[in-house]
Amino acid sequence: MNHFLTIGEYSPETIQHFIDVSEQLHKSKELVLTSKNIAFIFEKPSLRTKVGTEAAINQLGGNVIHVESDLVLSSGKAVPFSCRESLYDAMKNLSLWCDAVFARVYSHQTLQKMKEYGNIPVINALCDDHHPMQALADLYTLQQTFGKDQKLTISFIGDANNVSFSLIEIALKFGHTVHFSAPEKYSWPDETLNYFALLATEYSGFFMQFNDPFDAVSNADAVYTDTFISMGEEHLYEDKINHFEPYQINEKLFNEAGKEAAFMHCLPAHRGVEVTNEVIDHPNSLVYQQAENRMVVSKGIFASLLTGEAKEFKTNGVLSVPS
Catalytic positions: 104, 131, 134, 226, 266, 294
Residues 71 and 90: their CA atoms lie apart, in Å, by: 8
Residues 297 and 138: their CA atoms lie apart, in Å, by: 10
Q: Positive or negative CA dihedral for 82, 85, 89, 94?
A: negative
Nearest to 72 by CA among 124, 46, 110: 110
Helix (H, G, I), strand (E, B) or coil at 302: helix
Nearest to 202 by CA among 43, 315, 292: 315
Helix (H, G, I), strand (E, B) or coil at 194: helix
Spatial strand order of the sheet with 262-265 comes to 206-210, 177-181, 153-157, 222-225, 262-265
* Inter-residue contact 234 to 47 (CB < 8 Å): no
* Inter-residue contact 284 to 254 (CB < 8 Å): no
Residues 274 and 301: their CA atoms lie apart, in Å, by: 30
Does residue 12 come out as left (phi exceeding 0), alpha (psi in the -120 to 50 range) or beta? alpha
Residues 3 and 96: their CA atoms lie apart, in Å, by: 17
Residues 261 and 249: their CA atoms lie apart, in Å, by: 13
